[in-house]
A and B are shown apart, each in its own frame.
Chain A
């Protein structure tokens, strides 16, 4: 709670300092620099919402800046509408543009969003040229200049720009501390894990992109009135706008609202001083400095200044605080929860087939999962076990067949939608959100049903307590042991309040003590009424754990039944151990 109040206080402090600077500064030129610092900081913050928090680097964010400038000015010129209202319309246009740009591009992964964003400003430039808006000047309006944002007192522009900055800081802070903020960071850290934990990555990115267009459009509108007075396609849609934005955000540090603020405070005065001293003789000096700054920061401190300092402080604080922690041991009393009665059918899998190029990974696999049972899926490497899970939780759409969850056909739903319907999963190789604390990792899962941050935190704390990781809540996943990581992933999954969990080799890489802890934990999960489907390829462990087994081999269901029965099945023994074993064995395996 204290940390939250601190954040708001810091923002208030920044704004107060801005006001003081505005009052202290005398020279007109210094006011201009101050206005520029405020505006570029706000622009960097806008970019930071989509590219910092959500990790989707936008190379075309000047589109919204340009829309803000053009729409506002054209409204003044054509209709005489005050920019104070025009700005609002410009924001609406910018948000609409963001939705139109985001809709198709966010369906593509990786670099495609970035590449597509490159094209849009260029299109706007060309279109503005063609429409004949190569140069649109703001008409001078003598009566009521304030109503038309035409102040003569430079302090007014300072304060206006500071107001924009303050609003953007507040917006950023609200995002950072909201469910959306956690979800965006999860998407940035590991999109697939986020999806599996109920985060609709597409919607989260769309929301971030639309929100980031708002301040960018406002900055564009104010920038034209305070600095440029004339809109040209090159000045607002050009490469220098995005370069300045990137420089401010990247030098300061992305993914935090302090980054762009620091970046603007450092870089804007530097470039302005250079421009005013040697700019006449060396017209490209600003670009060279920005370019060099981008290169240096990428090579030297790719996370930016803020995180560099942050890291230094943290590692100093952490030194000496490395306390020994009690080892996690298997909790007793498993027998009480070991066998709960199985209920009706929870999940139906019907004739599911999935082929990859040249490989039939699953063919006509079908089975039922009953309420509150532990169902083991075994099979040799390449049998299709993980593919089956990927189909069940929506990462893959089957070529044929269908999956029903509680009677509802769920084939083809996104993982996040399935997660919201009560289907959780863990991964063969643990997928963490590396830069989120253990608690925050689990909170991402908790947000499936909790809207408020406080509620999600409480759910996450409870989930961590369930798996015995409450001591590790504030650590980052990087410092956890394999067992702790597996437990954290399980807690994250439990925090989504699942009816059914898919555990993909939860025992892999664990010591025998670790296996005992995990098995006890899985039994306890089932004891709480959660159905478990578990992949393993060590038969031994599953015999201790599962009520029923399904054996997959080369994408087909080979056998199904009680563990003892399945292990006696000759086809299973052959698939697992080869024909020679079968010949050697007169009696059942294990």
Chain B
């Protein structure tokens, strides 16, 4: 009986973690390639939720809607890079540049959250689907259908990203630009274009993750704040910039969140996550998969 309960919590945690994994991959890709800590990542996720909501209002199933957020958000991400981030990138002390980018994206995050509040009102919305309230039963373990579908889709998209990065020329160029921008530029890779590509893909992924999340999570402008920190934690856990690391980090966050409920009350659900975060920062700052934490 206790075991079944434990399995239930683990399963729930993993299902949620799959979506966290997908959103964290986007953040890790952006950090890995551009060395930008994108504070507005959660806001793009929130916008992805809204777009999926509006798709659903016009009769498109949210699971499909989540996929359909990818093209417009890729373009949006590319534009944001071109119009904003590229202007504070290049030259100067890397630490200062990183701070400038982080502050810039913090500003962007404030604008998006508050503008959304102004335009769409703070009232939470939800997408009603038949599967949101259904569950698959695996013996005594119940798997919410919406979460299961979202989990499966997240895995598919993550696999697609993996194939893109390892099997296509653009993906290889992207990784080259991440490893050593200077060497990559000598090989004829346009590093600035790669940054645009990375930001576009990173934003598209988090928007799609938002779309999947929207099948079972309330949609409101302030939702970004809850998730951006989870994403940061997942990315740090996996080792800043490591994409497989971020994926595993996302799953771990889901698990930790879920298992925290076994010992702590619901409001403290995220405390476990933060404790893990701080432990990782202090004990293994390079993360589970990271190569280095600091340079001499």
Contact = CB atoms under 8 A, between A and B. Distances in A.
Nearest to A387: B296
B133 interface: no
A122 B274 contact: yes
Nearest to A131: B267
Interface residues of A, number: 44
Given A122-B274, A126-B268, A283 B117 contact: yes
A115 B268 contact: no
Given A126-B267, A287-B110, A299 B104 contact: yes
A286 B111 contact: no
A228 interface: no
B281 A115 contact: yes
Interface string A266-308: 0000000000000000111111101111110011001000000
Given A110-B95, A126-B270, A285 B114 contact: yes
B294 interface: yes
Contacts of A282: 118
Most A CB contacts (10 A, CB to CB) among B103, B122, B267, B294 go to B103
Contacts of A340: none
Most A CB contacts (10 A, CB to CB) among B98, B110, B267 go to B110
B265 interface: yes
Contacts of B111: 287-288, 291-292, 295
Nearest to A254: B99
A246 interface: yes
Given A130-B267, A286-B114, A291 B277 contact: no
Given A123-B271, A130-B265, A295 B107 contact: yes
A57 B268 CA distance: 28
A109 interface: yes
A292 B109 CA distance: 10
Interface in A70-124: 104-105, 108-112, 114-116, 118-119, 122-123
Contacts of A243: 106, 110
Interface in B266-286: 267-268, 270-271, 274, 277-278, 281-282, 285
Most B CB contacts (10 A, CB to CB) among A110, A115, A122 go to A115
Contacts of B37: 111, 114-115
Contacts of B267: 126, 129-130
B271 A126 contact: yes
Contacts of B288: none
Contacts of A109: 293-295
Given A57-B99, A122-B229, A295-B111, A284 B271 contact: no
Interface string B114-144: 1111100010000000000000000000000
B87 interface: yes
B152 interface: no
Contact of B232 (A108, A118, A293, A390): A118
A243 B100 CA distance: 14
A136 to B, nearest CB: 17
Contacts, number: 132
A487 to B, nearest CB: 24
A284 B296 contact: no
Nearest to B294: A109
Contacts of B229: 118-119, 122
Interface size class of B (residues with CB under 8 A): 35 or more
Nearest to A238: B225
A116 B274 CA distance: 10
Nearest to A395: B296
Given A288-B118, A295-B108, A395-B296, A112 B102 contact: no
Contacts of A116: 278, 281
B160 interface: no
B47 to A, nearest CB: 15
A250 interface: yes
B208 interface: no
B38 interface: no
A272 to B, nearest CB: 16
Interface in A416-468: none
Contacts of B57: none
A288 B293 CA distance: 35
Contacts of A396: 296
Contacts of A123: 271, 274
Most B CB contacts (10 A, CB to CB) among A119, A126, A129, A299 go to A119
A246 B88 CA distance: 17
A287 B224 CA distance: 14
A105 B281 contact: yes
B106 A294 contact: yes
A288 B95 CA distance: 27
A123 B233 CA distance: 13
B12 interface: no
Given A114-B99, A286-B114, A291 B108 contact: yes
Contact of A127 (B96, B232, B233, B271): B271
Contact of A291 (B87, B109, B118): B109
B113 A287 contact: yes
A458 to B, nearest CB: 31
A112 B268 contact: no
Most B CB contacts (10 A, CB to CB) among A104, A118, A246 go to A118
B281 A298 contact: no
A338 interface: no
Contacts of B294: 108-110
B84 A299 contact: yes
A239 interface: yes
B236 interface: yes
Nearest to A57: B99
B104 A298 contact: yes
B225 A239 contact: yes
A299 B112 CA distance: 18
Given A126-B271, A298-B107, A104 B88 contact: no
B115 A288 contact: yes
Contacts of A292: 107, 111
Contact of A130 (B98, B108, B117, B268): B268
B103 A104 contact: no
Nearest to B94: A110
B232 A250 contact: no
B147 to A, nearest CB: 23
Contacts of A55: 95-96
A185 B89 CA distance: 23
A396 B281 CA distance: 22
Given A129-B267, A287-B111, A246 B84 contact: no
B106 A108 contact: no
B192 to A, nearest CB: 16
A509 B93 CA distance: 23
Contacts of B296: 390, 395-396
A291 B100 contact: no
Contacts of B122: 283
A122 B114 contact: no
B281 A112 contact: yes
A298 B103 contact: yes
Contacts of A291: 106-112, 114
Contacts of B99: 57, 114
A59 B103 CA distance: 9
A111 B98 contact: yes
A72 B64 CA distance: 52
Contacts of B285: 108, 112
21 contacts: A59-B102, A104-B281, A111-B102, A114-B99, A114-B102, A115-B37, A118-B232, A119-B233, A119-B277, A250-B103, A282-B118, A283-B117, A284-B114, A284-B117, A292-B111, A294-B106, A298-B107, A299-B84, A299-B87, A302-B88, A396-B296
Given A55-B95, A57-B99, A57-B103, 20 more contacts: A108-B281, A108-B294, A111-B95, A111-B98, A111-B240, A112-B285, A115-B37, A118-B232, A123-B274, A126-B267, A239-B110, A239-B225, A246-B103, A284-B117, A287-B110, A291-B107, A294-B110, A295-B111, A298-B107, A302-B100
Closest 6 CB pairs of A and B: A291-B110, A294-B107, A284-B114, A287-B114, A291-B111, A295-B107
